Structure 1
Amino acid sequence: MDTPTGPVTLLPSASSAPDAVSPATGGDEAVIRQVGAVIRRHQLTSLADTCLDYLVDNADGATVNVDVHEKHDTVCGGDPETSPRLFSFKLDRASGQLTTDALDLADGDFQPIQ
């Protein structure tokens, strides 16, 4: 997996993000809402929304990379010193196309998902 080279924002779960802008043209919160909705629609994890963290990298402006991690704390359980990556998403801002490696974790290939 590529390591983000630009500014990275760690955002809380999708359910706590405000409703403001569209994912393709807006800020990190809109992208997180879209990714969170796709995670639920496709049942990509059984973890509650509050037990997911999102690392957002939109340094190049054209593509937004989102790594979805397990949140470990007293509510979610797990070792608070770790935050395992579950899967990643990429949003192409020009086309609005969302891709993920969650559908093919073995090879890590990104595939379109809606």
Structure 2
Amino acid sequence: MKKILVSLSIATCSLGACAATVKSDDQAVDLAANAVQKYQLTTLALECLYFDTENEKTKYLIRVREKHNEKCGGDPETSPTIFFIRVNKKDGKLSTTARNTDDEFESLPFKQPLKR
């Protein structure tokens, strides 16, 4: 897996309905980071997350992990996985395991509202 630190850039297409192809790890991470913020997939700030990418045949698989340091807190020797995001290369559609305890992927935007 390739580790990418996320930049706070704006994605060039709307989340979950991107008609353009996703051609790089960086594009996939930008879409994932924007989804994390838009859908409030975690309460952690983006600067407290790592996005590891795996370039698969038809999609990018992104592991979202906690970044532990002085600013973000936590044990700096650990970086637990929080959830995964998949980005379809052909159309940029997103799915995530963020709110499923059984690690099943659910498409974004969610069909049912988040329960807080």
2:66 is the alignment partner of 1:73: no
CA RMSD of aligned residues (A): 2.3
Runs of at least 5 residues in structure 2 that lack an aligned partner in the other structure: 13-17, 110-116
The TM-score, its normalising length taken from structure 1, stands at 0.79
The aligned amino acid for 1:13 is V
- Which residue pairs with 1:97 in the alignment? 93
2:102 is the alignment partner of 1:113: no
User: Kindly, what percent of the aligned residue pairs are identical?
Assistant: 28
CA deviation after TM superposition for structure 1 residue 61, in Å: 3.1
- 8 Å Cα contact 1:51/1:72 also seen in 2: yes
- Which residue pairs with 1:43 in the alignment? 40
- For the residues of structure 1 that align with 2:38 and 2:10, how far apart are their CA atoms? 19
- 8 Å Cα contact 2:22/2:28 also seen in 1: no
- For the residues of structure 2 that align with 1:92 and 1:18, how far apart are their CA atoms? 18
- For the residues of structure 2 that align with 1:72 and 1:110, how far apart are their CA atoms? 26
- Which residue pairs with 1:12 in the alignment? 5
The aligned amino acid for 1:110 is F
- For the residues of structure 2 that align with 1:108 and 1:42, how far apart are their CA atoms? 18
Deviations 1:39-90 (A, max 9, x none): 11111111111100011000x3311100000000112111011001110011
After superposition, the Cα gap between the structure-2 partners of 1:62 and 1:18, relative to the gap in structure 1 and judged at 3 Å, is: same
CA deviation after TM superposition for structure 1 residue 103, in Å: 2.5
